[in-house]
Structure 1
Amino acid sequence: MAEKDYDDIPGTFVFDADRSREGYWLNQFCISLRLAKNREAFRDDPEEYMTRYAMTDEQKQAVRDRAWNHLLELGGNIYYTSKLASFDGITFQDLAAKMTGMAREDYRDMMLHGGRSVEGNRSKSEWEKK
């Protein structure tokens, strides 16, 4: 993918047209888990179930590892990848906490108090200045 101005946002993978194309089959896999019959098939034989979707080997490994941030980096859409988390019994709030490296209560408290500070979080170039 070509570098874009917003690639400089720390900890963020913007879901744009390029990422959408890259993650098409990953997202199709994730959204398929909304149906009980697909969840059952995935539970019974995860490897066979993943072969139904033309994901890259790296995407499949990220699914196996439940590498939540890496799934986004590989083109996953948070709303689709959250279906995989839900399959594992992980709530959206717990998923967000995991993705930020915070405990659930700390994440919840941060969000209730206005979210993460923008200071030092707007651009990776800010990190170099410190």
Structure 2
Amino acid sequence: MCTPDIPGTTLFDGRQARKGYALNKMCFSFNQAANREAFVRDEDAYCAAYGLNEQQREAIRARNVLQLIEAGGNAYYLAKFAGIFGLDMQDIGAQQTGLTKAEFQARLLAAA
């Protein structure tokens, strides 16, 4: 199967899902408050427990959504990670588009 080349876009396909399995599994664990607290207490140990590779660990440390997606992250699971820091999907969308949150919200309203 051929996938379209969309500049600046990482497609979440089967290859990306396999690549990001550990990262997404870790982010899913953040559904439980105790896991969020454990992550905040010792982020590196928590990442190690889930077997994150260096690319994924660096993206986690940088809090960089685009790097996390490139490392195999799925936006729905990454929202769980972002929630630890009080961020929502609009914060993520703003980071993905290089806009401030206010600019991103204005763009959403203009498209409605």
The CA deviation at 1:85 is 0.7
Partner of 1:56: 53
Could you tell me how far apart the structure 1 residues matched to 2:45 and 2:83 are?
20
The gaps in structure 1 that reach 5 residues or longer are 116-130
Q: TM-score, normalised by structure 1?
A: 0.80
Partner of 1:78: 75
User: Could you report, residue by residue, the CA deviation over 1:19-71 in whole angstroms, capped at 9, with x for unpaired residues?
Assistant: 00000001011111111010111111111111111211111111111111011
SS at match of 2:111: coil
- Match runs of 1:25-40 below 5 Å: 25-40=22-37
Partner of 1:96: 93
The CA deviation at 1:109 is 1.4
Partner of 1:19: 16
What is the total number of aligned residue pairs between the two structures? 112
The gaps in structure 2 that reach 5 residues or longer are none
Could you tell me how far apart the structure 2 residues matched to 1:107 and 1:10 are?
20
Residue identity opposite 1:85 in structure 2: A
Query: Which of structures 1 and 2 has the larger relative contact order (alpha carbons within 8 angstroms, sep 6+)?
Result: 1
**Percentage of identical aligned residues:** 39
> Which consecutive aligned stretches of 4+ in structure 1 deviate over 6 angstroms post-superposition?
none
Please tell me whether Structure 1 or Structure 2 has the larger radius of gyration of its CA atoms: 1
Partner of 1:41: 38
Q: TM-score, normalised by structure 2?
A: 0.92
